[in-house]
Chain A
Amino acid sequence: NAGVMQNPRHLVRRRGQEARLRCSPMKGHSHVYWYRQLPEEGLKFMVYLQKENIIDESGMPKERFSAEFPKEGPSILRIQQVVRGDSAAYFCASSPPTDPRGDTQYFGPGTRLTVL
């Protein structure tokens, strides 16, 4: 059973460009979470999605950031008009469709975004 997959692993963008980060959850998992780790800081929750639904986006910046988890295909975290402050490691995690409170979230290797 392959783990959580994220691509690309490293992404370089210039200010004003768009960044698209992809996450394929573990097989059979229907809950996806995105976290951001800024330099020298801990991981911070961004958004929680189930298939075709955003459950909680309370950690997402109000502007420029969006996330989706379509019926088919990976979850996408999209950052429009990137700024230098968006440079960070973005981690995706997934958990099974059973009660997620009883299981850990399984993390991917992360995408390291650098904005020039």
Chain B
Amino acid sequence: KQEVTQIPAALSVPEGENLVLNCSFTDSAIYNLQWFRQDPGKGLTSLLLIQSSQREQTSGRLNASLDKSSGRSTLYIAASQPGDSATYLCAVLEYGNKLVFGAGTILRVKS
């Protein structure tokens, strides 16, 4: 059974800091890995999707890497801003098109 773990559970940093969020998964038989952002009381916004054959994806200040063999992914956020404050969710898409989510990292960027 696939399990996705995210570390840390919560993170508070001053504005401008670069930061790394970690995600690990137990079964490497995945189609892709995605990072989502969830704001309080809102839905999920897809940030980055990495196919199982890819190593990384970049969008603006965000960079996500995938090491499928070791079951790890990292989300790197450069020059953090208060508007980045949210919960960040890692999810893997496995057979049957089911997304399996981690519990999330709650990020607070202080101005």
Contact = CB atoms under 8 A, between A and B. Distances in A.
B99 A45 contact: yes
Given A42-B104, A43-B89, A33 B99 contact: yes
Interface stretch (B12-20, B42-50, B59-67, B70-78): B42-50
Contacts of A108: 43
B100 interface: yes
B96 A56 contact: yes
A65 to B, nearest CB: 16
Nearest to A43: B101
A110 B38 CA distance: 11
B43 to A, nearest CB: 4
Contact of B97 (A33, A42, A107, A110): A33
Given A101-B31, A101-B93, A104-B34, A45 B43 contact: no
A50 to B, nearest CB: 10
Interface residues of B, number: 25
Secondary structure at chain B's binding surface: helix, strand, loop or mixed? strand
Nearest to B4: A42
Range of interface residues on A (Cβ < 8 Å): 20 to 34
B103 interface: yes
Contacts of B45: 107
A41 B100 CA distance: 13
A9 to B, nearest CB: 9
A59 B98 contact: yes
A104 B35 CA distance: 10
Contacts of A4: 43
Given A55-B97, A56-B97, A109-B42, 10 more contacts: A35-B99, A42-B89, A45-B100, A48-B96, A55-B96, A56-B96, A91-B43, A101-B31, A108-B43, A112-B41
